Amino acid sequence: MRRAVEFYGFKPNRSGYICCPFHSEKTPSLKIYPDGWWCFGCNSGGDVIDFVGRLMNLNYLDSCKQINSDFSLGLEIGGKRNCAAERKSRDKLRLEQIQRQEFAKWQTKTSRLLCEYHRVLYKFIQSGGTDNPQFFTALQNIGRVEYLIDELEREPNEFYRTCRKEVEEIRKSLTGLKS
């Protein structure tokens, strides 16, 4: 909104006010907000499209075209809608959202698994039983598990690509340790 106001020749003061171009005044009464404007003098307001439309005496569609042209937005305005393309785009966005949600679930589940495995290994180490073979297994694996926990947090996408199989092996061995 502010960029548009400045583009069309107005300079908002420090408080974001300009003299309203829609009625005569000497003191600024039109407040510029990030997503619109309101004039406290003539009690009118709207968004950037409304502002440009009133300023240039344009209808809504022509205001959109004017903004598109002035700011080189490259939008197709006023053409026929391609419902199939819109649906495909919407479906793609929804699929990406579902994938992000599923990945976040996987990441949380994997983090919990690794932390649980670390806790079990630590318990074996704390027991200090050198005659227990799980003591030595725990000593061998605890450093790797700490590394995996850090990597999962630092680079989850790379972790997913490179360590998924290892996590599955840990899941199996943890099941065996608990039983």
Per domain, the residue ranges of the chain are 2-70, 83-178
Confidence of residue 83 (pLDDT cuts 50, 70, 90): confident
Scan for tokens 């003299």, then name that residue. 19
Distances from the Cα of 90 to the Cα of 84, 86, 175, angstroms: 10, 6, 41
DSSP 18: E
Phi, psi of 12 (to 5 degrees): -65, 145
Token reading at 159: 């972790």
The mean pLDDT value for 100-116 works out to 94
Q: What letter represents residue 151's amino acid?
A: E
Token reading at 17: 């006010």
Q: What letter represents residue 119's amino acid?
A: R
Q: What is the pLDDT of residues 42-80, one digit of tens each?
A: 999 999 999 999 999 999 999 999 999 999 888 877 666
Confidence of residue 178 (pLDDT cuts 50, 70, 90): low
> What's the confidence (pLDDT) of residue 132?
77
Q: What letter represents residue 147's amino acid?
A: Y
Q: 2-70 maps to which CATH number?
A: 3.90.580.10
pLDDT at 179 over 60: no
Query: What letters, b where the CB count within 10 A reaches 16 and e where it falls short, cover 107-133?
Result: beebeebbeebbebbeebbeeeeeeee
> 57 or 86, which is more confident?
57
Q: What is the pLDDT of residues 3-23, one digit of tens each?
A: 999 999 999 999 999 999 999
Q: What's the pTM?
A: 0.50
> What's the confidence (pLDDT) of residue 81?
67
Segment holding 177, helix H or strand E: helix 156-178
How far apart CA 170 and CA 145 sit, in angstroms, is 9
> What's the confidence (pLDDT) of residue 130?
72
Token reading at 45: 């307001």
Q: How many CA atoms lie within 13 A of 60 on its CB side?
A: 3
The mean pLDDT value for 28-51 works out to 94
Q: How many CA atoms lie within 13 A of 63 on its CB side?
A: 16
Mean pLDDT, rounded, of the chain:
89
How far apart CA 107 and CA 111 sit, in angstroms, is 6
